[in-house]
């Protein structure tokens, strides 16, 4: 067994597996995005949109990401209006630079797993993280992004047994 200082330091810096839960509140209105796990290069979120929830056309400049529908139905639109209907246990991959918006087109809440890879919080100096087709920045939680005040369903959760 190697007990040198370098070996001990390397052992202390070895990445470790992370357990995470998908438990997320169902919504009466608006949407919730909940970070459940992350590394320097990847983030995993649950997202729940109340019926009819949507966002505005945009792209991420420094992040590839995907949505996997766990419950409900999502329709994803590109900048030309083309659409993809994504049903439970299907997903959509969005490479950085791909313009999209989505709409909850199912009955009830839309529950998705969002997995992002890249370094979205560290764009090049002076560059925004998300932009519209006209090049202007659009913030995820803004009114321009069709954000409405979130209202949770009291005591109702997706994956409640997950803890």
Q: Do 5 and 12 form a contact (C-beta atoms < 8 A)? A: no
The whole-angstrom separation of Cα 127 and Cα 137 is 9
Burial of 28 (0-12, 13-18, 19+ CB in 10 A): middle
Neighbour order of strands in the sheet with 31-38: 31-38, 42-49, 110-118, 63-71, 91-94
Q: Which two tokens stand for residue 46?
A: 């649950």
pLDDT at 133 (0 to 100): 81
Asked if 56 and 144 touch (Cβ cutoff 8 Å), the reply is: yes
pLDDT of residue 136: 82
The domain limits of the chain are 31-138
Contact 88, 72 (CB under 8 A): yes
- 22, pLDDT greater than 80: yes
pLDDT of 17: 95
With cut-offs at 50, 70 and 90, classify the pLDDT of residue 1. Answer: very low
What is the predicted pLDDT for the residue at 161? 94
Please report the pLDDT score of residue 43 as a whole number: 95
- The four Cα atoms 153, 154, 156, 157 give a dihedral, to 10 degrees, of 80
Structure tokens at 58: 């945009």
Instruction: Assess if CATH 1.10.1370.40 describes domain 31-138.
Output: no
């Amino acid at each position: 067994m190697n007990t040198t200082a370098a070996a001990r330091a390397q052992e202390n810096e070895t990445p470790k597996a992370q357990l995470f839960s998908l438990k997320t509140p169902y919504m009466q209105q608006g949407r919730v995005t909940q970070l459940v796990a992350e590394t320097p290069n990847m983030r995993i979120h649950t997202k729940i949109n109340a019926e009819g929830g949507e966002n505005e056309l945009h792209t991420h400049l420094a992040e590839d990401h995907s949505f996997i529908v766990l419950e409900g139905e999502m329709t994803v639109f590109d900048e030309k209006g083309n659409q993809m209907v994504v049903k439970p246990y299907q997903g959509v991959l969005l490479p950085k630079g791909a313009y999209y918006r989505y709409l909850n087109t199912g009955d009830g809440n839309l529950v998705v797993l969002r997995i992002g890879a890249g370094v979205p919080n560290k764009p090049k100096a002076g560059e925004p993280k998300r932009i519209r087709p006209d090049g202007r920045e659009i913030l995820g939680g803004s009114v321009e992004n069709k954000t409405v005040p979130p209202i949770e369903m009291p005591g109702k959760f997706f994956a409640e047994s997950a803890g």
